[in-house]
Amino acid sequence: MINKQLINEEVQEYITQNLYSDLSKLRFRKSPFNNISSLELVQQIQGKKIAQKKLPFLYNNNRIIYPPHLNLEQASSQSTALYKKKIITGKNGIDLTGGTGIDCYFISENATNFFYVEPNYELLEIVKHNFFSLKKRDIHFINKTAEEFISENTQSFDFIYLDPSRRDVNKNKKIEIMDLSPNILDLQNQLFKFTSKIFIKLSPLLDLQKVIDQLPISNIYIVSVKNETKELVLELRSEKLEYLNNPYIHCVNLETKQPDFHFNWRDEKLSDTPSYSLPKSYLYQPNSSLLKSGAFKLIGNKFKLEKLHSNTHIYTSEKKIEDFPGRILSIIDKNFNPKKTNNKKFNIISKNYPIKPEEIKKKYNLIEGGDIYLIFTRSLEGNVCILAESI
């Protein structure tokens, strides 16, 4: 049973006051509250601290009870959950791997009938309490595994959503689809008896070609937040249509003003090889979603850009190109010598270069920061350092 005393006003005040305390010390300190252990308090402090940036809609509500850290670790952020709300629509839906309920909370806003399925009773009770605190009371809570629910289910759904666990029984991280729980490779035929659309959230480390070969995917959403790729969302369809083995790829960089980039998977292989050039007036670095997609020829051809080198995924042009899905830099010096500068504060980028940023900082006694960039990379003439400023 969850401890409802955790939402008492004085307890919540203590949690907020200790967001930046040394939790290793708090664990062994006697709890100031009867019927609440130090470990319970630490769990709530950890959860609220994570929510401060990742889940502000929870952080701003003092009646929320946070689950263990491991559950919050795999949970979607508020911004990625809101994005899934845009792409996953239907009146009758189900989340077969409910977990912390973050995706369920937002995706269900499109539905009139929504099911949350979760085998961990304590976690389910926490989520039910939190939804009630957030005045969300239109969810059907079911305490079963995905497999148990499917074996007994008789109704159909507009969509089914899953976020398979990426931990094994020993809490080791897993990435490959066959190692996740539940295993969608085993379940997909059963699931397609109840829906024509399945959405799966997976690790951004997965090999795209491998999952395309394994599953009937119509769309792949590569979701980044502030240029850090957070998750892949696959849309599976039961119909054998023209998109099979050639899904539509969506490269998204949330919390930025960068435009999305879309293409069909085979378009990259069929695209002409981009031309190459020494650095011109501007440099373009694709965002992390684009880099994950591997659309290196397409991006150059679409924006009429030239690459610095076949293995350097940085592009250049004489005239500035607007609406590029990534960082745009204006070149100050095309062949900069970091040894001959009094300024030691730069943003350092190392791409297709023999040494990493940390080694570069040590070698040239540089400090990370400021408004000017040093780009260490390889061009047609070999290794180069370019001085540039962001636009």
Q: pLDDT tens, 132-159?
A: 999 998 899 999 999 999 999 999 999 9
pLDDT above 70 for 82 = yes
Q: pLDDT tens, 243-259?
A: 678 999 999 999 999 99
Please name the residue that has the structure tokens 């269900």.
108
Q: What pLDDT sits at residue 94? A: 98
Q: What pLDDT sits at residue 171? A: 63
Number of Cβ within a 10 Å radius of residue 13: 11
The edge-to-edge listing of strands for the beta sheet with 159-162 is: 139-142, 113-117, 92-95, 159-162, 197-202, 228-237, 217-225, 248-254, 261-264
Q: What pLDDT sits at residue 278? A: 97
Mean pLDDT of all residues belonging to the chain: 94
Taking residues 93-113, what's their average pLDDT? 96
Q: What pLDDT sits at residue 12? A: 96
Q: What pLDDT sits at residue 241? A: 63
* 331 contacts: CB under 8 Å, gap ≥ 6: 279, 280, 281, 282, 283, 386, 387, 388
Of the candidate ranges 35-39, 161-165, 240-244, 366-370, the one whose mean pLDDT is the lowest? 240-244
* 161 contacts: CB under 8 Å, gap ≥ 6: 84, 88, 93, 94, 95, 96, 97, 103, 104, 107, 198, 199, 200, 201
Q: What pLDDT sits at residue 242? A: 62
Proportion of the chain above pLDDT 90, given as a percent:
87
Q: pLDDT tens, 167-205?
A: 665 567 777 888 899 999 999 999 999 999 999 999 999
Taking residues 4-26, what's their average pLDDT? 94
**Residue 201 phi, psi (nearest 5):** -95, 130
DSSP for 37-86 reads: -HHHHHHHHHHHHHHHHH-HHHHT-TT-----HHHHHHSPPHHHHHHHHH
pLDDT above 90 for 371 = no
Taking residues 333-349, what's their average pLDDT? 93
Specify the pTM. Answer: 0.94
Proportion of the chain above pLDDT 70, given as a percent:
98
C-alpha to C-alpha distance for 247 and 38, rounded to whole angstroms = 50
Q: pLDDT tens, 254-291?
A: 999 999 999 999 999 999 988 999 999 999 999 999 99
> Which two structure tokens, joined as six digits, stand for 69?
């850290």
Taking residues 28-53, what's their average pLDDT? 94
Q: What pLDDT sits at residue 191? A: 96
